[in-house]
Amino acid sequence: RDLPGSGAVIATIVVAIVLLFISAVLWRWPLAVAQKLIPQPTLDQQSRLPGEQLQTAAFCLLGLWLLTEALPHAAYVATIVYHSSGPRGSVTLTPWEYATISQVLAEFIIGLWLLFGAKGLLGILRWARHAGTTEPSNP
């Protein structure tokens, strides 16, 4: 395989820098993005749920989202494993397929942990906020 020319390398670096800049802006000012995406009357309403319950719900939703993302990958892995098994397997597993199998397993494990272990994650988050102090560092 040929190495890309210097134009392709420069384009890749420029795109990476732009994406890192966008990520930094979104990380620094998330409320500005939320105010653009969510209508103002919705933002003005107070939630009746305590913060811990909101965090638990967020972890559960994140786990559910991760599991739904893993399902198409699992179908691909199941198809590849089916066609590679048996004495007359029509496909041989490459390192790419082994990596995909590992990715799907990790997505399922993390997704299930987030979905069903949200209270444990909430405890880790609470511990990290108080790390070494008596008051939360991020109330």
> How confident is the prediction along the chain (139 residues), in pLDDT tens digits per residue?
455 677 778 888 999 999 999 999 888 888 787 777 777 776 567 767 777 777 778 888 888 899 898 988 899 888 888 888 877 777 788 888 889 899 999 998 888 888 777 666 666 667 777 766 666 555 5
- What are the angstrom distances between the C-alpha of 36 and each of 26, 30, 42, 119? 12, 10, 12, 31
The amino acid at 56: T
Identity at 133, one-letter amino acid code: T
Q: Is 114 in contact with 121 (CB distance < 8 Å)?
A: yes
Whole-angstrom distance, CA of residue 12 vs CA of residue 21 = 14
Angle at 100 between CA 86 and CA 76, to 5 degrees: 60
